[in-house]
Amino acid sequence: MVAPAGGGSPSRWPSEEELNIVRKNVAEISGGDAREVRVVACPYRICPLGAHIDHQGGIVTAMTINYGVLLGFVPSDDAEVVLQSGQFKGVTRFRVDDLQKPIENRGNITWESYARGAVYALQNSGYDLRKGIIGYISGVNGFDSSGLSSSAAVGIAYLLALENVNDLVLSPVDNIQLDKSIENKYLGLENGILDPSAILLSQYGYLTFMDCKTASPSYVYFSEPSKSQQPQGRLPFKILLAFSGLQHNLPKSRGYNMRVFECKEAARALLCASGCEDAPILRKVDPGVYEAQKCILDENLARRAEHYFSEMKRVVKGRDAWARGDLQEFGQLISASGGSSIVNYECGSKEMIQLYEILLKAPGVLGARFSGAGFRGCCLAIVESGRAEEAAAYVGAEYERAQPELVSKIPADRRVLVCEPGDSARVILHA
Ligand code: GLA
C-alpha cells in the first residue's frame, strides 16, 4: 500500500487563530515562549460505510473532517506531565514513569484518563518514556463531539505528543495498535480499530479502507465523472453533521459492549455449527456457512449477524461506487447502512431515528446514517456541495420542530454543521 501525499484538504484546519489560542495557553502554563509550542492536530472522523463491523474483523471505510482536537505542548524538564483542558476544570499532574494500571470502574473515566491511557499503552508496549509534556488540550467550543470518535482523537493526540518529546518514531499502524490498547485494555471498551485508522491514515480525496482483521489499510481515490465542473481538486460533496442533543460517552456506556458480545455469540454458534472452534468473530464465518446455518441463531443474534454480513456487502459495493465517482449509489448504500443499524443492529434511539429520517428528506442529501456507535450523538449525511446550506437549514428547522427541548440546549451555530473531508493527525512543530 502506498499512502497518498498528505495535506491536501482545502479546509485549512486548524486555522492560525485556533493554533495561536492553544500556543498562548501552553505558554501561560509553562512560562515559556508561545512560538516554541508544538501542536498535535487530531481530526474527528466519519465512517460512511462499515458500521459496527470493525470489532468483528470486518472492512470499514473512513475519512476525517475539518474539526477536531488540538493539543499544544512543550517537553517538560523531567518526567512530569502537566495538563489543562479548554473544556474541563482542573490541572492534571502525574509522571510518565509512574506505572499506569487499567481503569477498573468505567464510571471513573475522566478527561485525564486518556493521557494516562496513552502512557499506559506506551509503557505496556515496552517504550521507554523519560520526558513528560506540559500541555493544553481543547476540542471545539460548544461542539458535542460524541459520535465523531473524540476519545480516539484525544488518545492519539497524547500518543503523538509523548512520542514527539521522547524521540520515538512510530508508524501510523503502530499508533493504531497503541490507541486500541488505550481503548480496549486501559478503558475497557471492546471497540475495533475504525477510529484510530481513520484519524491516522485519512487523506483528502481518498476513502480510507481498513481491513480490521489483518490491520491492512488501502486507499481509493475519488474519481468523479464531471470533474471539469468542480473547482480544482475539490470533492463535489460536503458532510453534514446533525446533532441530536443526546450526549454520549462511549467508553462509559454498556450498550456498545453488549452488541459486541452478541456478535461474538452469533459467530460462536455459526462456527460451532460448521465444526470450527476458532476465537469467535464474524469475519471468521464463511458467508456461505452463514447463509446455510443462519436459521440456528436466535432472533437477536440473527439480526446482529445479518447486519454484519449485509454491511460487508455494502462496503464492497460502496468502494466501487466511490471509485467510479458514483455518489448517488454511494449515498444510497450509506442510507441502507443506517437502516440496518436501526433494524438489525438495533442501536440509536427515538431521537436519533427522527434525525436520520429528517436527513433522508433534506434537499441535496445523497445518503445518511448514525455517526459512530449511534446510540446517541449525531447523524451524518453526504450532501451535494451546492445544496449543503439549504439542507442544513432544513434539518435544523425540522429537528427543532420534532425535539424543541433538546435542541434548545445546543448552541444555535452547533446544531447542524457543514464540514469538509480532512487529512490525518499531525504534529505542527513551530509557529
Ligand atoms: C464507535 C467505535 C468504533 C466503531 C463504531 C461503529 O465509534 O469506537 O470502533 O465500532 O463505533 O462503527
Which atom of ligand 1 sits closest to the CA of residue 149? Answer: 7
- Please give the distance, rounded to the nearest whole angstrom, from the Cα atom of residue 166 to the centre of ligand 1: 30
- Does 326 contact ligand 1 (Cβ within 6 A)? no
373 within ligand 1 shell (Cβ under 6 A): yes
390 found inside a domain? no
Q: Which of 179, 195, 326, 423 is catalytic?
A: 195
What local confidence, expressed as pLDDT, does residue 141 receive? 74
Tens of pLDDT, residues 120-150: 999 999 999 999 999 999 998 777 788 899 8
CATH of the domain at 212: 3.30.230.10
HEC profile of the chain: CCCCCCCCCCCCCCCHHHHHHHHHHHHHHHCCCHHHCEEEEEEEEECCCCCCCHHHCCEEEEEEEEEEEEEEEEECCCCEEEEEECCCCCCEEEECCCCCCCCCCHHHCCCCHHHHHHHHHHHHCCCCCCCCEEEEEECCCCCCCCCCCHHHHHHHHHHHHHHHHCCCCCCHHHHHHHHHHHHHHHCCCCCCCHHHHHHHHCCCCEEEEEECCCCEEEEEECCCCCHHHCCCCCCCEEEEEEECCCCCCHHHCCHHHHHHHHHHHHHHHHHHHCCCCCCCCHHHCCHHHHHHHHHHCCHHHHHHHHHHHHHHHHHHHHHHHHHHCCHHHHHHHHHHHHHHHHHCCCCCCHHHHHHHHHHHHCCCEEEEEECCCCCCCEEEEEEEHHHHHHHHHHHHHHHHHHCHHHHHCCCHHHCEEEECECCCCEEECCC
Atom of ligand 1 nearest to the CA of 183: 8
What does the mean pLDDT of the chain come to? Answer: 94
Report pTM: 0.95
6 belongs to a structural domain: no
The reply to whether 195 belongs to the active site is: yes
Q: Which atom of ligand 1 lies closest to the CA of 50?
A: 12
**pLDDT score recorded for residue 416:** 97
Q: Does residue 23 form part of some domain? A: yes
Mutate to test the pocket of ligand 1, among 195, 257, 314, 352 (most ligand atoms within 8 A of CB): 195
Q: Within a domain: residue 45?
A: yes
Question: Is 97 domain-assigned?
Answer: yes
Structural domain including 149 reads 16-222+423-428
Q: Please give the tally of structural domains in the chain.
A: 1
Which of 4-18, 107-121, 398-412 shows the lowest per-residue confidence on average (mean pLDDT)?
4-18
Which pLDDT belongs to residue 143?
A: 76
Q: Evaluate: CB of 270 within 6 angstroms of ligand 1.
A: no
Task: Tell whether 39 is covered by a domain.
Answer: yes
What is the reported pLDDT for 7?
58
Residue 273 lies in a domain: no
Within-domain flag for 309:
no
Q: Is the CB of 178 under 6 A from ligand 1?
A: no
